[in-house]
A and B are shown apart, each in its own frame.
Chain A
Amino acid sequence: MIRFRKLRLVGLLAGAAIVATVADSSAADRMRFWNLTTVTIQELYLAPAGTTSWGPNQCKNDRDGTVDADERLTITGVTPGRYDVRLKDKKGRVCTVRNVEVVGGKPYAFSIADKDLTECQP
């Protein structure tokens, strides 16, 4: 009887672990950028911090190809870590934001606000 209870407990714990893993996995899959600037972003690229290995334009993941102010954008092909982010906004400015922490398992992976746009051209 005691052995059966132990087995059932082990089974329950194993089940809970599987559920937790699945939940973590689905949460970690949800990587989104939150545009907290006041401008529409037309292009957005990520590169591992300190490199120039820019990935694809993430704005192509959006249905209209741009990320308006306060809008979210799904980020693909990126794992949590530190990245440099390059963006082009509707005004034509190209800005680089360095060493941004991109996290998984949260409602949004990272955000950028106007105050972060200190390295822009023109």
Chain B
Amino acid sequence: MSRVPHLGAAALMALAWLAPALPAAADTILVSNEKGNSITVLDGASLKVIKTVPVGQRPRGIVLSKDHNFLYICASDDDDINVLDLNTYTLKEPLPSGPDPETFALHPDGLHLYVSNEDDSLVSIVDIKQRQIISEIPVGVEPEGMGISPDGRWIVNTSETTSMAHFIDNETHKVVANVLVDSRPRHAEWTADGAQVWVSSEVGGTVAVIDGAKRTVIKKISFAVPGVPNESIQPVGIVITKDRKYAFVALGPANRVAVIDAQTFEVKRYLLVGQRVWNLAFNADESRLYTTNGISNDISVIDVPEQEVIKSVPVGEQPWGVVVRP
């Protein structure tokens, strides 16, 4: 009899000890599986899979609606945008996207999606309420990354084959500047203050930091991971903390996430994660970072303040995109 309370106290002590490493998080993690044709739903507190929802074919880019009630999903092989109701986990009427949508960004107004159409070298603007494409903007060959400035005025699209970041005026829908970056730019990420855009170049193996107003490259960040050949270092996803202290860059088949001082642009460390790490997402308070690992079919969980990987969780086949619903 006396052992029960003793074990209970020990368990409580163990839990107290573990608590800082695994803080409670009342959010939901959503992962698109591009070969599994599904969305994996995980509980942010327990890090357990709570649901796998079949969706359209080859789901890649995903983004939350402004009210967090819907998930927009680029269903690349269906040539449309799936709309998943996150309260019922049912698919609603899809939105048009133009052909082969891969990635997109939601305007801060929550009413417009900006979609890269790889096959047609276009950026399509989708009016969510009207459920139609209201504008098509010609850009470089094989458009990919999409980023919208925090004030919604400037759109940055990257084109893989042209190796450029195209700055688009959102009032005129015209390209106003083309910034040359290294080969195969994949992702464009604005800083929260709108001062910079960071663009990853997958084949070039670098990240270009672009002045958002002058539209010139102010820094090119390179990577060197001990024991990893240079050709395996393929930067794709980027996230930057709101205070612009740190940036995290997914390095593809290098299986590492680079931690960068976003003030000095110095790479501080490399975190070992799953295989072919592709995209990244913070939770709401930026205490955790989640990565999709396309070859190992899992996500890695990073404790941001400690800058260490604390867990990996299996998801669907070829995880691609990730977002966190608060």
Q: In the complex, which residues of chain B have a beta carbon less than 8 angstroms from the beta carbon of A39?
A: 231, 253
Interface residues on A, range: 10 to 19
Q: In the complex, which residues of chain A have a beta carbon less than 8 angstroms from the beta carbon of B57?
A: 107
Which residue of A has the minimal Cβ distance to B60?
Answer: A70
Q: Name the distance in Å between B75's Cβ and chain A's nearest Cβ.
A: 10
Q: In the complex, which residues of chain A have a beta carbon less than 8 angstroms from the beta carbon of B203?
A: 40, 68
Q: In the complex, which residues of chain B have a beta carbon less than 8 angstroms from the beta carbon of A40?
A: 203
Which residue of B has the minimal Cβ distance to A34?
Answer: B35
Question: Does A63 interact with chain B (Cβ within 8 Å)?
Answer: yes
What is the total number of residues of chain B having a CB less than 8 Å from a CB of chain A?
Answer: 20
> Quick check: A38 and B141 within 8 Å, CB to CB?
no
Q: In the complex, which residues of chain A have a beta carbon less than 8 angstroms from the beta carbon of B231?
A: 39, 90-91
Interface of B is mostly: loop
Question: Does B298 interact with chain A (Cβ within 8 Å)?
Answer: no
Question: Does B234 interact with chain A (Cβ within 8 Å)?
Answer: yes
Interface of A is mostly: loop
- Once A68-B203, A91-B231, A107-B58 are accepted as A-B contacts, the answer to whether A63 and B295 lie under 8 Å apart by CB is no
Which residue of B has the minimal Cβ distance to A115?
Answer: B295
Which residue of A has the minimal Cβ distance to B121?
Answer: A63
Question: Does A69 interact with chain B (Cβ within 8 Å)?
Answer: yes
B282-298 near A? 1/0 per residue, CB < 8 Å: 00000000000011000
> Quick check: B184 and A68 within 8 Å, CB to CB?
yes
Compute how far the CA of A69 lies from the CA of B34 in the bound complex, rounded to whole angstroms: 14
Q: Which of B265-289 contact A (CB under 8 A)?
A: 276
> Quick check: A63 and B142 within 8 Å, CB to CB?
yes
18 A–B pairs (Cβ distance < 8 Å), ordered by A? A36-B318, A38-B234, A38-B295, A39-B253, A64-B141, A64-B142, A68-B202, A68-B203, A69-B202, A69-B252, A69-B253, A69-B276, A70-B294, A90-B231, A107-B57, A107-B58, A108-B77, A113-B295
